[in-house]
C-alpha cells in the first residue's frame, strides 16, 4: 500500500485482530520508541497524535459507518459499498487519516494482527466564492470614521492618582507615627 508525501484527505481503516487485553500494548508507543503498531503497518513514519484506535463497543448504538461519516465527514456514497462489511466488524479498529503518515512517502506492508478493511476519501473542499468588487471590500467606503479612543490618557491618570494615594498614605503614616 503506497502512501504519497502529498496525500491529503484519505482515511484508511484496519481491523485489529487481537484479544482485548493485548490491544493497548500493541497500539501504544513505548518510552523506548518500540511501537508494535508501526511495525505491523511497515510504516517508516507514523504520528501517534493521528492514530485512532476504536473499541467498537464504545460506539454503542452507532455503527462504524455512521461514526466514519460523522467523525471524518465521509459521504454516504463513499461508504455505501463497504457499509455492511464495516458494520459487521467487532472488537477494535484502527483509523488512519493521511496526517498520520507525517507527509512521508512510504510503502506499507501490512501484517498480522492488522487486516486492511478499506480506504476512503474525504470530500474535497469547495471552491471559494466569487471575488467581491464593492467599495467596502476595497476599503474605500465612505462610512463614518471610528471614534477616537482615549483609553491611554485615562490609564495614565489612573496610575498618577494611584501613586498620589500611595505617597499620601506614606506621609500620613510618618506623621502619625512621630
For the chain, which residues make up each domain, given as ranges? 2-121
Say how far residue 66 (Cα) sits from the centre of its chain.
19
Q: What is the pLDDT of residue 160?
A: 86
Q: What is the pLDDT of residue 151?
A: 61
Q: Considering the entire predicted model, what is its pTM?
A: 0.67
Q: What is the pLDDT of residues 95-122, one digit of tens each?
A: 999 999 999 899 999 999 999 999 998 8
Q: What is the pLDDT of residue 133?
A: 74
- The answer to whether residues 14 and 110 touch, using CB atoms and an 8 Å cutoff, is yes
- Confidence label for 172 from pLDDT (cuts 50, 70 and 90): confident
Q: pLDDT at residue 47 above 80?
A: yes
Amino acid at each position: 500500500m503506497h502512501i504519497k508525501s502529498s496525500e491529503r484527505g484519505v482515511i484508511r481503516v484496519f481491523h485489529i485482530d487481537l484479544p482485548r487485553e493485548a490491544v493497548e500494548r500493541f497500539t501504544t508507543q513505548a518510552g523506548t520508541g518500540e511501537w508494535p503498531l508501526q511495525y505491523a503497518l511497515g510504516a517508516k513514519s507514523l504520528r501517534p497524535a493521528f492514530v485512532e484506535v476504536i473499541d467498537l463497543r464504545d460506539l454503542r448504538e452507532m455503527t462504524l459507518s455512521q461514526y466514519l461519516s460523522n467523525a471524518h465527514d465521509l459521504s454516504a456514497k463513499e461508504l455505501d459499498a463497504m457499509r455492511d462489511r464495516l458494520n459487521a466488524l467487532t472488537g477494535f479498529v484502527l483509523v488512519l487519516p493521511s496526517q498520520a503518515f507525517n507527509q512521508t512517502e512510504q510503502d506499507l506492508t501490512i501484517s498480522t494482527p492488522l487486516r486492511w478493511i478499506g480506504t476512503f476519501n474525504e470530500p474535497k473542499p469547495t471552491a471559494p466564492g466569487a471575488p467581491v468588487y464593492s467599495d467596502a471590500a476595497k476599503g474605500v467606503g465612505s462610512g463614518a470614521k471610528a471614534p477616537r479612543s482615549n483609553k491611554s490618557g485615562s490609564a495614565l491618570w489612573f496610575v498618577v492618582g494611584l501613586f498620589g494615594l500611595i505617597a499620601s498614605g506614606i506621609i500620613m503614616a510618618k506623621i502619625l507615627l512621630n
